[in-house]
Amino acid sequence: MTAFKGGVGKTTSAICLSCLFAQSGYKVLLIDYDPNRSASVWGSRGSLPFQVATENTANRLMAKEKFDFIVIDTPARPTSAEIKELVDGCDLLLAITTPAALSISALNIMVQSFPPKTKYHVLLTVVPPSSEPDGEIAFHTLREQGLPVLEQGIQRLKVYEHASAEGKPVYEIKRGGKKAWEDWKELAKLQPIKDLLT
């Protein structure tokens, strides 16, 4: 879960993806590589269905317990060494962007820094309602640029902020949680995610 730009939804996506794996019955560890510790704070507030560790505590935990999935939340602008480590070690690399032009250009710069032949997918998040054209334009732009964008995006919904404030999975938030979770359930049906879950 990575991006060059800050505030594009990496942590929110990492938490939701971890929830998705946990809901499928897997034991998940989310490693929070961001010095801002947003994922750890989310995890410490309440009741996530998986554990959150930092890069400092993860090794000890992994030596003690076996996990089916390790999800990594990076800070904005990972270094090239961090990118190489990520690329080498993971089964699914998700590059996150919002429909904003600046976010898409940061994404382009980041993917150019990936080692050749890196396998990754782009997750478009904070997608506005269809009454605004920005989401469709962004999907179109990403496809035109030849970027491997997942066809299921994640809608822009207030409920994500409530979920992080309450330290809960988004589907546990009464107002709007179910609607938000539909996107993740649809995402799980796409081949790259489905492959991991089977």
Taking CB under 6 A as the criterion, the residue among 33, 67, 160, 181 binding ligand ATP is: 160
Interface with Mg ion by CB under 5 A: which range of 37-45, 95-103, 108-116, 146-154?
Answer: 37-45
Q: Does 20 bind ligand ATP (CB under 6 A)?
A: no
Toward ligand ATP, which CB reaches closer, 7 or 115?
Answer: 7
Residues 98-127 that bind ligand ATP (CB under 6 A): 125-126
Q: Does 90 bind ligand ATP (CB under 6 A)?
A: no
Toward Mg ion, which CB reaches closer, 38 or 155?
Answer: 38
What the block records as the tokens of 67 is: 């996990």
Query: Under a CB-based contact definition with an 8 Å cutoff, are residues 157 and 40 in contact?
Result: no
One character per residue 55-84, x = contact with ligand ATP (rule: CB under 6 A): ---------------------x--------
For tokens 């940061």, name the residue: 106
Q: For residue 154, give the nearest of 14, 24, 27 by alpha carbon.
A: 14
Q: Does 135 bind ligand ATP (CB under 6 A)?
A: no
What single-letter DSSP state applies at residue 75?
A: P
Taking CB under 6 A as the criterion, the residue among 40, 72, 120, 156 binding ligand ATP is: 156
What the block records as the tokens of 172 is: 């546990």
Residues of this chain that interact with ligand ATP (CB under 6 A) are 3, 6-12, 34, 36, 38, 76, 125-126, 154, 156-157, 160-161, 164
